[in-house]
Each structure stands twice: as structure tokens, then as C-alpha cells.
Amino acid sequence: MNSALLPVSLMSYVGLSAVIFFIGVGGVLLRRNPLIILMSIELMWNSANLLFLAFARVWLNNAGHIFAFLVITVAAAEAAIGLAIVVVVFRRTHHVDVDDVRLLKG
Amino acid sequence: MPFAHHVMGVEGAYPLLYAVWLLPFAGAVACWAFGPQLRRLAGPLASAVIGAAFAGTLLMWGFATQSVGGALGAHVSLGAWTRGFDFGLLMDPLALIWCIIITGVGFLIHVYSIGYMDGDRAYARFFAYMNFFVFAMLTLVLSDNVVGLLVGWGLVGLASYLLIGFWFERPSAVAAARKAFVINVVGDVGMMFAIFAIYAHVGSIGYGDIFANVPALGGALFLICVGLFIGAAAKSAQVPLHTWLPDAMEGPTPVSALIHAATMVTAGVYLVARFWPLFSSSPDAQELVATIGGITALLGAILGTAQWDIKRILAYSTMSQIGYMIMGVGVGAYEGGVSHFFTHAFFKAQLFLGSGLIIHALHNEQDIRRMGGLRARMPFAFWAMTLGVLAICGIPGFSAFFSKDAIIYGALRHGHPWLFWTGIVTAGITAYYMFRMLFVTFLGEYRGDVDPSDLGIRHPELAGTPLPAAPSHGESAEEPHAPAWIMEAPVAILMVPSVFAGWLLFGERSPWHAFFAQQFRPEATVATGIPELAASAIVLVMVLAGIGIAYYRYASKPALENATGRLQQESVHMPAALSAAFYFDTALDILFVKPAQGLGTVFGRWVDPKVIDGAVREIVLSCRWLGHLFRSFETGLVRAYALIVVFGAACFLAYYAFARGL
């Protein structure tokens, strides 16, 4: 492994990425405010981006950078749809709490 | 003359043959589809169509009788549908004779129906059914293969069912129609198995191929003949499948005349005559056919003596006369059997139409005990019935004298002496019951106003039930009615052939013999010991004896003076066996109907609700149970779904991390 290319060790990137990812997972599972949930999902996207960039640097392969842009694009689209749903729900109920949106209950 | 008949008919275009075959169908469709628009034109239209078919049949005469290199008649190919299934139309002398009766007598009966069915609510429907019947019957006789024959066979059964049950408001008519249909299907099944066997052995359904390969049938020949004859027996009301025919008289009288006397019920005779190469090769089958025919002839005649309903008398007489025909074709006297079909069609149609005149005039009264003295009131009907009775009895010079003697003497010539004597006895009984009907109906005083119980009528409320759609003359004056001549003219025309048609058979070199010279191969005959003239004399003596007894019992001076009392005595003392028609209905009821009903009850009470419905119900319940199980997973909580996704992702991760190794 070339330390000149990567002053901080790879495992630090992977570890940070894992920490951010699980913070995101925890946010999605534990918070009831949809805006927070969307932000948590954003955290997970970005942990993945961090890995793409770290490994692109390690393997000197630009595909990782390109995929990072792709992920940013998809994340933007996902945020747009998610926020639209939140707005629609808010207009109907005047408060937003994902546990109260249970129309699909069997 | 070689009888190489495997080439059936001279191939050609013959547009007339198509016309004869399809015109009645077009008429049926027109009456069916445009009945409300046609109104009272439906009858004339339907009659005209059948008249045109009759004209076409006559114009086909030359083609039907042509013979080129062993091919007899006219043949039209309708194309090969699959290998071995070549359909086509064949009009040879045998088919021609049937077509002449179907369209000729059919035309007269259609014309008669214009008057008889006048004012009926379902006037157009009646003529649609009648035209459809003619089409079906033509399909039956014109087919050049066994499958087409079976199609026609089934279609005439359907037409018969529809017309017996024409007045479907009456439960008895519906029951009679159903009975006729079921018994006919028994026959159809017998025929179907015969056809399966034929195809298995010959590999073709065409008559020509079958008749050229009779030896190939081998041991199956007898069973094939029996199968075919089961079909013939059901259609032609032969013992023990005859019980539907008397009940079929529930249909309108023209139907009885056309279908249940002149044409459809003789399809069995056609079948045996058409398959003569098979029957001639199987003496056992011939013996069976002839015996059944003889038994039916005798039984029908005996039962005819015990009937009071004028149409039932004629029905049993039809059964008996068809018994003669079957006996004739059974012993190998094909020409004789077919000739009796030919003459019988005329005089029996005439008798039925004559009885229809009476029934029509008396407002659906059919019990001859409540008639009497009609000679003065209805002279035309009297003469029509008298000529018909003379013809059926075989008085010398009248038509049945020739055709019936051809059968009776044919039985002797082909070595069946006891059938010969059966035929003679039957001829005597026939004369007795036909003259009984004639005397009771037309002589003495009119008894329509006598209390029915004084005449021995047990259930007067059942006798002469007024029809819901009774054609009633004079009551609704605003509707113009068909003139009386429209019913009398066909009967008058029928008198001519019913008296004179028998002369075609006169002599050794008769026109009839010349006509069929190339159709049938003469069967071997035996020395008889009784010359034909002597046989005719014996028959005549029996007939005169029958007439004498009938005269003594019903037309002599003391009999006429106390007619009411005598009829009551006869009704009350009628032997139970005769009243119950020798318990055939009871026996069939116990043997087949009751077990079938029992089976139906088992299926209706147990199999259907428990097995069929039960299975469906179990499937529904298990689906519902599964649904209840799975819906508990669907909480609607977004975070729960997210947890499941995470759990799934963790499982994948664990799998790749531990099971596959890193």
C-alpha cells in the first residue's frame, strides 16, 4: 500500500464510513420525524461515497469518482421524492410522524 | 351385373343437390330469425321452400338413377376435412326414395300445417322447426359417410325433441319430448360405437370404402351390425326401445304425421337398407333384426287394439308397420321393406292428417269414445280415413296390399317361416284395430255430449285437455283464418299415392324392382311350398276376419244401438296388461330410470354438496387462513419495514462474511 498516496490509512476511512453508515441506520430506525429520516439516509449515501473515493484513491481507478457523482445524483432525486411525500402528508394531516402514516396496515 | 359399389355415385357438380339439401335450412333460419316480421307468411314461405326442394329432388331423378361403371347415383364431394374423413353428398335410388317422401309428403304436411297451426302463438317457430327437421332428415339420407349420417341422426332427434315439446306449457309434452330424446340418445350411442369400430377396421368413414372392405371387419361385423341396429331400433321405435313413440303424440298432429309416421321413424329402415352389405354378410345380425321387427309388428298391433286415443292408435300402428319394414330389411327383402316405407309414408300421413281434421274440428278431443257419428258431420274426413284404413289393411288393389305382401312373403322366401306367420297374424290384428277406430269414430251417434264416466273414461279431466294456444276457429273474428281447403287439399292429394302407389310393385318386372335393380344384391331364397298367390289369400282371409270381428263388435246393429254401454264395458274390463302396454314402461322405469334417479339423488345430496362444493369451500377457507397469517406482517409502520430491510441486509452480510469466507 502506497502511504504517499494515502496519508491517512485505509482502515480509518472504512471505519469512519462504517460509523457514519450505522449512525444513518440508527437514525432511520429510531427517529419518527421524516425529515430526520431523510437526513439519516443522506448519511448512509455519503458513507458509501466516502468508501468509493477511498478505494478509488487506493486502486488508482477513476470509476470510484464517477460512481460517487452518480450516487450524489440518485441521492438528490431520492431526497426530492421523499420531501414531496412529506409535503403531501403534511398537507393532509398538518403534522408529520411516520408512525402515524399507517394506511398500508393489513 | 357386378355389384362393385365401393365407388358411390358419379362425381359431379350437381348444384341442384346442394339446393335440395340447403333450401330447408335457409327456410328454417328465415322463419327463426324473422318470425315476428313474417307473421302469417312464415307458413307459406316454409311450405314453398319444401316444395322447391321437392321439385329439385324430382329434377335430380335422372342423376340419382344413373349408373356409370358400377357407380350408382350422384355424388358431390364436400372436401376432405382430415385424412380418412371425406365428407360428401350421395343421392342414389335409395336416398332418392327417401328424399321424395321427405320433401314430397313433407311439403303436403307443411301446407296442411298452415291451416292446422293457424292462430298458434308460435306459428313461425313451428315452421322453423319443421324446416329444420327436413334439413336434418335430408342430411341423414344424403350423407355419403357414417359421420354425416350420425350428424343427421342426432339433428333429427333434436328436431323431434323440439316438436314433441312444441307446446311446452304442457308438462306431459315436456316429459314426452325428454323421453324421446333420451331413448334416441341410447340409440345414438350404439351407433357411435359401431362407427368407432368401423373406422378402426376400415380406416375410412365413407360408405364406399366400408362396403368394399366388409371382410376386413372380420369378427367385429356382428357387433357393428348390432350397434347400428341399436340406433335403428331407438329411432324406429322397435321393442324394447319403442315406448317413446306413443308418448310422442303430444306434439302437434302434423308433426306426428311427418316425423313420427312418414319419415324420421323410418330412419332405422333406411339404416339397415343402406348398410345391406354389412347385414347381408352377417346372418346372425339379420336374424336379430328380423326377429325384433316381427316382435314389434305383432306387439304394436296387439297394443293398438287397446287404445282409445286416436293418435295413440295410429302411433301403435306406426310402430307395428315399421316392425314390418324392419322385418323386411332384416330377412333380406330390402326392396320389400323399402317399398312398405314408401307406401306407408303416404297412407299413414293421410291417416294422421285425417285424424288431425277431426281433432281440429272437435277442439282437441282425441278420445274416440267421445266421437262417434262423425260420418255425417265430416264426410271428407270420413272418406280420407276410410281410404287410409283400407290402404293400411292391405285390401287388394290398395297400396299396402303389395308392399306388405312383399315383406310377408319375403320372410317365407328367405327362410323365416315363423316370421311369415307372425306377419299374417299381425295383418289380421291390424285390420281389426284400424276398423275398430274407424267404426267407433265415424258410426253411430255423436257421444261428445255424453258424460265421460258413462263411457268408462276414468280421468275425464285429462282427456282432451284444451291447449293453451288452441287454434280456435270463429272465436277471434278479427284475425282472418286460413281456408278449410288448405287442410283438405293435402289429404286429398295424399289419397292418390296411398291407394295406387302399391301398383309400382305389381308383377315380376315391376318398376320398383327395375328402380332398385342396381341398389341391392338379391338374397338367396329357399323353396317355399306356398305360392305367393296363396300367401296373399291367407293374408286376405286374416284381414277379412279382423274386419269381421271389428264389424261385429263396433258396427253391427246391436253394437251401435248400445254403443255407450259397450264402450264403457270395454273400458272397464280392459286387461291390465294391455292398459299398461305390457309393462314396458314400468320395466324400463325400474331397470333404468329409478337407478338413474337414485344415482342423481346420491350426487345431488352427497357428492355435489360434500365433494365438489366441499373442495371449493376448503380451498376458500385455506386461502382465507393464509391471508390472515400474512396480513399480520403488514403493520403499516415505515420503521418496521426499514428494520426488515436492515435485517435482510445484515443476513446477506453475515452470509458473505462467514459462510462464504472473506
The predicted-structure confidence for B500-515, as pLDDT tens digits, reads as follows: 998 988 877 888 888 9
Residues of B in contact with A18 (CB under 8 A): none
Question: Is residue B459's pLDDT more than 70?
Answer: no
Task: Tell which of A21, A32, A97, A99 to mutate to test the B interface (max B CBs under 10 Å).
Answer: A99
Nearest to B98 by CA among B352, B270, B261, B238: B270
Fold assignment, A10-104 = Helix Hairpins (1.10.287)
What mean pLDDT do residues B36-47 have?
90
Question: For residue A59, how many C-alpha atoms fall within 13 Å in the half-sphere facing its CB?
Answer: 10
- Cα dihedral sign, B85-B88-B93-B98: positive
What mean pLDDT do residues B437-464 have?
78
pLDDT of residue B11: 86
Question: Is residue B583's pLDDT more than 50?
Answer: yes
pLDDT of residue B33: 93
DSSP string for B602-619: HIIIIIIIIIIHHHHHHH
- Is A102 in Cβ contact with B635 (below 8 Å)? yes
Q: Under a CB-based contact definition with an 8 Å cutoff, are residues B202 and B218 in contact?
A: no
Q: What are the backbone angles phi and psi of residue B367, rounded to the nearest 5°?
A: -85, 120
Supply B476's cell numbers. 277471434
Give the mean pLDDT of chain B: 89
Q: Under a CB-based contact definition with an 8 Å cutoff, are residues B359 and B404 in contact?
A: no
Question: Chain A contact for B631, CB < 8 A?
Answer: yes
Q: Under a CB-based contact definition with an 8 Å cutoff, are residues B387 and B496 in contact?
A: no
- Gap between the Cα atoms of B614 and B621, Å rounded: 10
The chain B residue lying nearest A104, using CA atoms, is: B636
Supply B369's cell numbers. 269414445
Report which of residues B184 and B480 the model is more confident about. B184
Classify residue B274 by burial, with Cβ atoms within 10 Å: 0-12, 13-18, 19+: buried
Give residue B239's Cα distance to chain centre.
Answer: 14
Q: How many CB atoms lie within 10 A of CB B84?
A: 14
The string of pLDDT tens digits covering residues B402-435 is: 999 999 999 999 989 999 999 999 999 999 999 9
How does residue B578 score in pLDDT terms, banded at 50, 70 and 90? confident
Residue count of chain A, please give it.
106
- Gap between the Cα atoms of B394 and B220, Å rounded: 39
Q: How many CB atoms lie within 10 A of CB B66?
A: 15
- Gap between the Cα atoms of B31 and B42, Å rounded: 6
Nearest to B3 by CA among B415, B519, B607, B529: B519
- Is B635 in Cβ contact with A105 (below 8 Å)? yes
Q: What are the backbone angles phi and psi of residue B399, rounded to the nearest 5°?
A: -65, -45
- Is B639 in Cβ contact with A102 (below 8 Å)? no
The string of pLDDT tens digits covering residues B277-294 is: 999 999 999 999 999 999
Supply B28's cell numbers. 328454417
Distance from the B641 Cα atom to the nearest Cα atom in chain A, whole angstroms: 9
Question: Chain A contact for B639, CB < 8 A?
Answer: yes
pLDDT of residue B661: 63
Residues of A in contact with B635 (CB under 8 A): 102, 105-106
The string of pLDDT tens digits covering residues A44-96 is: 999 999 999 999 988 888 999 999 999 999 999 999 999 999 999 899 888 88
Distance from the B615 Cα atom to the nearest Cα atom in chain A, whole angstroms: 27
Q: Which amino acid is at B32?
A: W
B90: part of which helix (H) or strand (E)? strand B85-91
Residue the block writes with cell 339439401: B21
B32-52 per-residue burial string, b: 16 or more CB within 10 A, e: under 16 = beebeebebbbbbbbbbbbbb
Percentage of chain B lying above the pLDDT 70 cut: 94
Residues of B in contact with A28 (CB under 8 A): 639, 642, 646
Nearest to B128 by CA among B110, B152, B142, B148: B110
Supply B238's cell numbers. 322397435
Q: Under a CB-based contact definition with an 8 Å cutoff, are residues B103 and B57 in contact?
A: yes
Supply B30's cell numbers. 328465415
Q: Where along chain A do its domains lie?
A: 10-104
Distance from the B648 Cα atom to the nearest Cα atom in chain A, whole angstroms: 13
Question: Is residue B364's pLDDT more than 50?
Answer: yes
Question: Chain A contact for B640, CB < 8 A?
Answer: no
Question: Chain A contact for B651, CB < 8 A?
Answer: no
How does residue A4 score in pLDDT terms, banded at 50, 70 and 90? low
- A–B CB contacts, 8 A cutoff, strictly below: 34
- Gap between the Cα atoms of B208 and B275, Å rounded: 11
B80: part of which helix (H) or strand (E)? strand B74-82
What mean pLDDT do residues B259-281 have?
93
DSSP string for B224-271: HHHHHHHHHHHHTT-TTS-THHHHGGGS-HHHHHIIIIISGGGHHHHH
The string of pLDDT tens digits covering residues B49-63 is: 999 999 999 999 999
The string of pLDDT tens digits covering residues B51-107 is: 999 999 999 999 999 888 878 889 998 877 776 678 899 999 999 999 999 999 999
Distance from the B616 Cα atom to the nearest Cα atom in chain A, whole angstroms: 25
Question: Is residue B346's pLDDT more than 80?
Answer: yes
According to DSSP, residue B70 is labeled T
What mean pLDDT do residues B120-142 have?
94
Question: Is residue B150's pLDDT more than 60?
Answer: yes
What mean pLDDT do residues B113-138 have?
92
Distance from the A45 Cα atom to the nearest Cα atom in chain B, whole angstroms: 15
Distance from the A103 Cα atom to the nearest Cα atom in chain B, whole angstroms: 6
- Gap between the Cα atoms of A52 and B281, Å rounded: 96
Q: Under a CB-based contact definition with an 8 Å cutoff, are residues B401 and B409 in contact?
A: no
Q: Under a CB-based contact definition with an 8 Å cutoff, are residues B475 and B97 in contact?
A: no
Classify residue B129 by burial, with Cβ atoms within 10 Å: 0-12, 13-18, 19+: buried
- Gap between the Cα atoms of B21 and B27, Å rounded: 11
B67 beta partners: B72
pLDDT of residue B272: 94
Percentage of chain B lying above the pLDDT 90 cut: 61
Q: Under a CB-based contact definition with an 8 Å cutoff, are residues B90 and B8 in contact?
A: yes
Nearest to B131 by CA among B207, B33, B65: B33
Partner-chain residue, chosen from B633, B636, B642, that has the shortest CB–CB distance to A103: B636
Question: Is residue B7's pLDDT more than 80?
Answer: no
- Is B639 in Cβ contact with A98 (below 8 Å)? yes
pLDDT of residue B549: 95
B163: part of which helix (H) or strand (E)? helix B146-164
B309 beta partners: B367
Longest dimension (CA), chain A: 57
Report which of residues B46 and B527 the model is more confident about. B46
| Residue B6 DSSP SS3 | coil
